[in-house]
Structure 1
Amino acid sequence: MRGGLPPHLLFTQLGHRYGPVFSLLLGPHLSVVLNRHQEAREVLLQRGREFAGRPFMVTTDLLTRGGKDIAFADFSPLWKTHRRLVHDSFTLFGEGSGRLRDIVRSSVDELCLELLSGGGRGFDPEVMRYNDGIVETIAGGGLLDIYPWIKLFPNRRLRTLKRCIAVRDRLLSRKLEEHQASLSDGPPRDLLDALLQGQGAGHHEGEGHQEGEGHQEGGGITDDHVLMTAAEAFGAGVETTSTTLLWILAFILHHPQVQRRVQAELDEQLGERPVCVSDRVRLPYLESVINEGMRIRPVSPVLIPHTAMTDSSIGGHPVRRGTRVLVNMWAIHHDPEHWDTPDLFNPDRFLDDRGHRVTPPCFMPFGAGPRVCVGESLARLELFLFLSSLLQRMSFKLPDGASPPNLQGRLGVVLQPLPYKVVVTPREGWEGGA
């Protein structure tokens, strides 16, 4: 597919020819592509346990120390225990907690001062990518994952990936050792503290499981699990959230009336009071802008592949154990049968006639079921707090004579907008940036 259409667009085109569910061989691997939400929900929800597996891939196996993460690890009792630990840790920063609000508020203060220090000059909002070498190598490592035997031969990408992983792991290991040395029984200072406290509190003993569950050879949640969780949160988590914000700002530059409407809602509901997590119910239009951004440009246009853990079926078609299943979220989020003018950025599609939020069943930016993104709630809160705080304090517009951002994007590990320029000005009362 290199040099041609990216997978999500190619699969969408093939779906127009062969139907919403079709199979193909990706190298030696039989794969089923789902372009419609009915079959996607069947796989992710109704038969979620049957399709909860993950395929082995060389690059992600290296990246995660043999599947010690959440996103790429295969389904198992130990994975369930690990996921519960991570979910509980993320909850510390969720609804009702002031931790996330304080962290975001501090970050927004710094960002506003940085943006406004340019004195109204054009600013390039392309975010510096965490672990650029890993991101670029994983994005270009398709053949290696399809034909694992390629790793037996000299491979520049594989060498680059291993070097970048080694650097990442040295930095993370140092942080882990610092946290282990200063860990207390008090409230966790951050995610690493929460993970370490959960690790030591007996999550690895498998409580809540049937006898025999929660254990693998080597036993329980190890330091490698904690490290790979931190790497995933600070790598993939930051990447997806920041990219979603960049997409939303890009579409706002195309539709300035959306920015004005969000700011009017903020002014009416909050005035000059800082945004809180509890304000989500008071800001339905801002929430709909976030949803529309995730719909029209899903940062993961094709979800991480699932595998059938047993013989099963999809839409009445038999599927054998080990078959890979690719959910094309791009096609689902652009299906004209369920979305009126799907290529139009229209946040009102997530509001009913009374202005209340609605969530169509075909909207699944984080997946669904047993393999739903464990960081969904945290990501949604971060997006809400960042976007509301930025638009409460600042306005974004194109530089004089500049063209609106290119909305085609480029596909790496996530679907990113192309770099664009924007002029940032403080709103009345926020000239100091904080």
Structure 2
Amino acid sequence: MRMEGTGIVFIVLLAILLLLNYLKQQWSRRHFPPGPLSLPLIGGVWRIKFGIGWNVETLIKLAEQYGDIFTVWAGHIPVVVLSGFQAVKEGLIDHSEDFSERPLTPFFTTLARGKGVAFSNGHTWKQQRRFGLVTLRKLGVGKKSVEGQIEEESRQLAEVFAHEKGQPFDPALPITNSISNVICAMTFGYRFPLEDETFKELIDAVAFTLKFARSLFYGLYEMFPWLMKHLPGPHKKAFRATEMLLSLIKKEIQKHKEQKSFQEPQDFIDFYLLEIEKRKNDPTSTYDEENLAQDIHDLFVAGTETTATSLKWAILLLANHPDIQDKAYKEMEDVLCSSSFSYQDLKKLPYTNAVLHEIQRSKHPLLFGLPRQTTKDVKMRGCLIPKGTAVMPNVRSVLLDPEHWDSPKEFNPNHFLDQNGHFVAREEYLAFGAGARVCLGEHLARMEFFIFLVNLLRAFRFQLPPGVKELNEEPEAGLTAPPHPYKVCAVPRCS
């Protein structure tokens, strides 16, 4: 009896200690913005998993309950979410430098090791980003040289579509292959044949990494890395996929070194190897082959999926809205007198320009903006966001903000047109982010989207398969937000 009594006392004391520890944690978190109740171990994630569910509107629904700035605790890790145009603008633009870092979460720390441009910080990030911006300009982003590469890939894609002879088919894989080949041409200096095994491995590696980042195992790794490192699971496969992609990239780097092609640079690797040579005596230089490989990895993952997702949405939406498709096509035929055109012609195509913007507004390719991290304590709207806190700018909430868009949930190109049919740029259009971490490849993505879509629309009329009344416009919810798999008919135009 005495031992049983001792055991009960021990359990009661343990329960009291756990309760006191929990209350202490809640007290220490009182300055953070409000949010779902944080429970031991799982934090506030329960509110998503067992409450409103995980979809493209999850964070928007939480903002309706807790306000435009709220906190979701992922285990013991606070994530402050900014929602709506005003809050996101205040964070990313008004506090641009304060929100300029990337949070070093366990998964992405293991994945990128602080290298590259997407998940690095400080001096490394500044040097790699500056080099990326300068080199993309040297390679001709915004000039005819890159336009020629994009034009070639869009022609190749049109040939693939033409082989379907107007019958229903899934355009997803051909689109991803073509967009990825644009990155190949810019970084490696050549495109891959679609049947090339190395190219297939590259595409598969990128796809698996993105698929894993929207899985339950990803969340578990971020919350319990000390445990997950010792357990089998898809996280191990994700790391292997990354290593495989980096290995392929390093082989290309070695080829360039052996050929000494960097002495007359033609692609991203050439320019980077030349920079390594120039800076070899600079102790502050972060230019090395590890950073080069990670830079190219980041370009592939970010540059392929987002633009490919936008193009998949474009075809789906235009098939669902034939009136909008026909009006854009007519404008193209009226203005573009010959088969050749350039990115500069977009200025002459206000309706087409509005359609392009509306596709990326209504169906943003990312579920939300990539997370930032505060470089110092930040006061916003009476809330304290401590230094080192992960901040999630919900860009989707900006693009769907009912206070700034007349019909936010509708596909409506008039959002970007005035009463006279002239294109109107909108400051609320933050599809590529804002501030210090605005998308590095924004201009390239805009060029690709325009050139691919114009070439495809001038070659085909996209129609619903027989018996299909409408394609599903609900996005899949992951790190990206692509459409559900669909089939469409690319009917060749007589002209």
Q: Same fold (TM over 0.5)?
A: yes
2:131 matched residue in structure 1: 85
**Is 1:133 the counterpart of 2:208 in the alignment?**
yes
The one of 78, 82, 93 aligned to 1:45: 93
The one of 358, 373, 383 aligned to 2:449: 383
Cα deviation digits, residues 235-271 of structure 1 (max 9, x gap): 2211110111111111111111111111111111112
Q: Is the 8 A contact 1:292 1:346 kept in 2?
A: yes
2:325 matched residue in structure 1: 259
1:158 matched residue in structure 2: 235
Q: How does 1:171-190 map to 2 (within 5 A)?
A: 171-184=248-261, 188-190=265-267
Q: Is the 8 A contact 1:275 1:388 kept in 2?
A: no
**Is 1:54 the counterpart of 2:102 in the alignment?**
yes
Structure 1 Cα separation of the partners of residues 55 and 138 of structure 2 = 37
Cα deviation digits, residues 369-416 of structure 1 (max 9, x gap): 101111111111111111111112221111211232211121233111
Change (3 A) 1:273 1:167: same
Cα deviation digits, residues 145-170 of structure 1 (max 9, x gap): 13322334313122212221222122
Which structure is higher in helix share? 2
Following TM superposition, by how much is the alpha carbon of 1:96 offset from its aligned partner in structure 2, in angstroms? Answer: 4.7
Q: What is the alpha-carbon root mean square deviation over aligned residues?
A: 2.1
Structure 2 Cα separation of the partners of residues 311 and 19 of structure 1 = 20
Q: Is the 8 A contact 1:15 1:21 kept in 2?
A: yes
Q: Is the 8 A contact 1:399 1:422 kept in 2?
A: yes
Q: Is the 8 A contact 2:70 2:80 kept in 1?
A: yes
Q: How does 1:236-275 map to 2 (within 5 A)?
A: 236-275=302-341
Q: How does 1:1-40 map to 2 (within 5 A)?
A: 1=48, 5-6=53-54, 8-40=56-88
Instruction: Give the partner amino acid of 1:353.
Output: Q
Once the two structures are overlaid, the 10-residue window that deviates more, 122-131 or 11-20, is 122-131
2:168 matched residue in structure 1: 122
Change (3 A) 1:376 1:130: farther
Q: How does 1:350-429 map to 2 (within 5 A)?
A: 350-429=416-495
User: How many positions carry a matched residue from both structures?
Assistant: 416
Structure 2 Cα separation of the partners of residues 343 and 135 of structure 1 = 26
1:208 matched residue in structure 2: none
Following TM superposition, by how much is the alpha carbon of 1:94 offset from its aligned partner in structure 2, in angstroms? Answer: 4.5
Change (3 A) 1:343 1:80: same
Structure 2 Cα separation of the partners of residues 389 and 201 of structure 1 = 41
Q: How does 1:217-228 map to 2 (within 5 A)?
A: 219-228=285-294
Structure 2 Cα separation of the partners of residues 85 and 172 of structure 1 = 18
Change (3 A) 1:38 1:426: same
1:113 matched residue in structure 2: 159
Change (3 A) 1:426 1:162: same
Cα deviation digits, residues 105-152 of structure 1 (max 9, x gap): 211221111111122211111225542322222222122113322334
Structure 2 Cα separation of the partners of residues 7 and 203 of structure 1 = 48
Unaligned runs of 5+ in 2: 1-47, 177-202
Following TM superposition, by how much is the alpha carbon of 1:8 offset from its aligned partner in structure 2, in angstroms? Answer: 4.5
TM-score by length of 2: 0.79
Q: Is the 8 A contact 2:465 2:489 kept in 1?
A: yes
Q: Is the 8 A contact 2:142 2:447 kept in 1?
A: no
Q: How does 1:244-323 map to 2 (within 5 A)?
A: 244-323=310-389
Instruction: Give the partner amino acid of 2:391.
Output: V
2:190 matched residue in structure 1: none
Q: How does 1:97-112 map to 2 (within 5 A)?
A: 97-112=143-158
Instruction: Give the partner amino acid of 1:377.
Output: H
Following TM superposition, by how much is the alpha carbon of 1:338 offset from its aligned partner in structure 2, in angstroms? Answer: 0.7
Q: Is the 8 A contact 1:125 1:419 kept in 2?
A: no
| Secondary structure, counterpart of 1:415 in structure 2 | coil
1:142 matched residue in structure 2: 219
Unaligned runs of 5+ in 1: 206-213, 430-434
Following TM superposition, by how much is the alpha carbon of 1:186 offset from its aligned partner in structure 2, in angstroms? Answer: 6.2
Following TM superposition, by how much is the alpha carbon of 1:50 offset from its aligned partner in structure 2, in angstroms? Answer: 0.9
Once the two structures are overlaid, the 10-residue window that deviates more, 363-372 or 395-404, is 395-404
User: % of aligned pairs identical?
Assistant: 28
Q: Is the 8 A contact 2:374 2:390 kept in 1?
A: yes
| Secondary structure, counterpart of 2:340 in structure 1 | coil
Structure 1 Cα separation of the partners of residues 349 and 70 of structure 2 = 41
Instruction: Give the partner amino acid of 2:105.
Output: M
Following TM superposition, by how much is the alpha carbon of 1:421 offset from its aligned partner in structure 2, in angstroms? Answer: 1.0
Structure 1 Cα separation of the partners of residues 229 and 491 of structure 2 = 54
Structure 2 Cα separation of the partners of residues 298 and 412 of structure 1 = 12
The structure having more radius of gyration, on CA atoms, is 2
Change (3 A) 1:25 1:101: same
Instruction: Give the partner amino acid of 1:49.
Output: E
